[in-house]
Amino acid sequence: MSEQSKKLAGILLIILPTVAFGGTSLLSLLINDASGYADKALRQDLWRAGHAHVSVLLILSLVILRYVDEAKLSEKWKALVRNGTPVSAILIPAAFFTSIIDPAAKEPKALINLAYVGFGMLVITLISLGVGLVRK
């Protein structure tokens, strides 16, 4: 594993417990009736989706790091693949969380479109890694 991959893996492993803390925060909002969190189904759904996506994408980022250095890609493409999934792990959940910040909102704000940007980054990352591994 390259130094870049090891360093990023270390950073991701340090960040991962914050996701668990976020899950605990969501749980406390559900338990506390005064929070009003359980009153808004849309907000609940989007926050839950954001939390789930960040968890899965961070784990996928760690898995990808095991393969990126073996792929037949240029160093620029390897850097894109190495960083693409963590970037999507920021953009997709950010779309869910920031589009429904206002507790009174009845529909997501335009920031929900960040999810499409994150999804595009994820697709580019996965296809690039796949092609690089098949070319080997």
Condensed to tens digits (0 to 9), the pLDDT of residues 21-60 reads 777 777 776 777 666 666 777 877 887 888 888 889 999 9
The whole-number pLDDT of residue 136 equals 60
The whole-number pLDDT of residue 10 equals 92
The whole-number pLDDT of residue 96 equals 86
The whole-number pLDDT of residue 37 equals 65
71 touches 129 (CB < 8 A): yes
Alpha carbons 60 and 13: distance in angstroms, whole number: 12
Look up the pTM and report it.
0.81
The whole-number pLDDT of residue 38 equals 65
Quote the domain boundaries for residue 40.
3-135
Domain count, the chain: 1
pLDDT at 115 over 70: yes
The average confidence (pLDDT) of the chain is 87
Alpha carbons 121 and 22: distance in angstroms, whole number: 24
Alpha carbons 106 and 15: distance in angstroms, whole number: 32
